[in-house]
């Protein structure tokens, strides 16, 4: 029996296994892609119009925020950003679960933040089932270009993530991490 639209949405955002091809999820993905298509094609000087689209798309945001074009996400409504947020070109956020980003966070170009998880077993993976794990980023965080944050990680306050790092586990506050997988390089 197919789950209702609300049941499938709740399953996804709460970390339960769900059918990623459910018609309601496909409808919401399409609606988000259409908003992003418009956002990414606006003249960069059209700040008010870009912010209006992001205001409609995001789950919440602080008073001042800026996301350079192009920007990509799956749903948008599961992304919450704090005050004084800046993201450079090509930010990708797969927000099947919540992505919470604190105040004074700066993100370099080509950064990817993922919440979607897929089964390791190919036969199961091919059925389009998946689950999601939230990502949390603290305050005063700088994420260097081309870094990747995988599902379920929490980044503490006052952290610097080096360019190209792949963050596979939680990062405590007040450190610099880098590498693949990311490890602590320096305490701040």
Cα 106 versus chain centre, distance: 14
- To the query of whether residue 118 is one of the catalytic residues in this protein, the response is yes
Residue 116 bridge partners (DSSP): 132
Q: Pick the catalytic residue: 22, 55, 61, 118?
A: 118
10: nearest Cα among 69, 98, 138: 98
Separation CA 112–CA 13 (nearest Å): 19
Given a contact cutoff of 8 angstroms between Cβ atoms, the answer to whether 114 and 134 are in contact is no
Given a contact cutoff of 8 angstroms between Cβ atoms, the answer to whether 13 and 97 are in contact is yes
Given a contact cutoff of 8 angstroms between Cβ atoms, the answer to whether 156 and 177 are in contact is no
Separation CA 2–CA 46 (nearest Å): 43
Given a contact cutoff of 8 angstroms between Cβ atoms, the answer to whether 187 and 133 are in contact is no
Catalytically active residues, by annotation: 118
């Amino acid at each position: 029996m197919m789950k209702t639209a609300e049941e499938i949405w709740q399953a996804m955002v709460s970390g339960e296994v769900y059918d990623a091809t459910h018609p309601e999820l496909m409808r919401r993905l399409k609606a988000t892609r259409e908003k992003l298509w418009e956002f990414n094609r606006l003249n960069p000087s059209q700040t008010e119009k870009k912010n209006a689209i992001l205001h409609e798309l995001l789950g919440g945001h602080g008073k001042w925020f800026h996301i350079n074009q192009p920007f990509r996400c799956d749903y948008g409504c599961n992304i919450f950003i704090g005050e004084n947020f800046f993201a450079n070109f090509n930010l990708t956020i797969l927000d099947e679960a919540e992505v919470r980003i604190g105040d004074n966070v700066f993100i370099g170009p080509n950064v990817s933040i993922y919440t979607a998880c897929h089964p390791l077993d190919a036969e199961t993976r091919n059925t389009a089932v998946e689950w999601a794990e939230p990502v949390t980023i603290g305050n005063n965080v700088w994420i260097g270009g081309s870094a990747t944050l995988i599902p379920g990680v929490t980044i503490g306050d006052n952290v610097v993530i080096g360019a190209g790092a792949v963050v596979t586990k939680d990062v405590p506050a007040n450190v610099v991490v880098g590498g693949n997988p990311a490890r602590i390089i320096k305490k701040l």
